[in-house]
Amino acid sequence: MHEVSITQSMFDLVLKHAEQAEAKKVTKINLVIGEMTGVVRECVQFYLDFLSKGTVVEGAALSVEMVPPKARCRQCGETFQLGEFDWTCTKCGGKSLQVMAGRELFVESIEVE
Ligand SMILES: [Zn+2]
């Protein structure tokens, strides 16, 4: 799983922002995860708990917004939600799709004290 490195870079970013804001404590981390990344929320939480021990991030609540995969058909322009294994346009059956959403992975914001 790649959650270790993802959580590590996310944690570094949160810590940097907390330091810049001179925060005593990070209370909440708002995270956006696209479903296509395959990142599991529980894993992120697990590594975050581990990494944050003894830092201002320790005990911060993790709020995760999952983004369902969306694609746009290059043939007819239809935008629709992607099935897990079904990579065809729901309107015209075209197979030339452009991924519009679902690959997101970023810290949207943090809340500090
Ligand atoms: Zn189409």
pLDDT at 1 over 70: no
User: 102: CA distance to ligand 1 center in Å?
Assistant: 19
List, in sequence order, every beta strand (DSSP E) within 35-93: 61-67, 70-73, 79-81
User: 68: CA distance to ligand 1 center in Å?
Assistant: 19
pLDDT tens-digit readout, 20-43? 999 999 999 999 999 999 999 999
User: 101: CA distance to ligand 1 center in Å?
Assistant: 17
User: Residue 23 has what pLDDT?
Assistant: 96
Percent with pLDDT over 70 in the chain = 99
Helix, strand or coil, per DSSP, at residue 51 = helix
User: 94: CA distance to ligand 1 center in Å?
Assistant: 5
Strands of 61-67's sheet in order across: 61-67, 26-34, 105-112
Residue written as token pair 């294994």 = 85
pLDDT tens-digit readout, 55-86? 999 999 999 999 999 999 999 999 999 987 78
User: Residue 86 has what pLDDT?
Assistant: 82
User: 104: CA distance to ligand 1 center in Å?
Assistant: 23
User: 84: CA distance to ligand 1 center in Å?
Assistant: 17
Q: What's the chain's length in residues?
A: 113
User: Residue 2 has what pLDDT?
Assistant: 81
Mean pLDDT of 81-92: 89
Helix, strand or coil, per DSSP, at residue 23 = coil
Residue written as token pair 């944690």 = 11
Helix, strand or coil, per DSSP, at residue 80 = strand
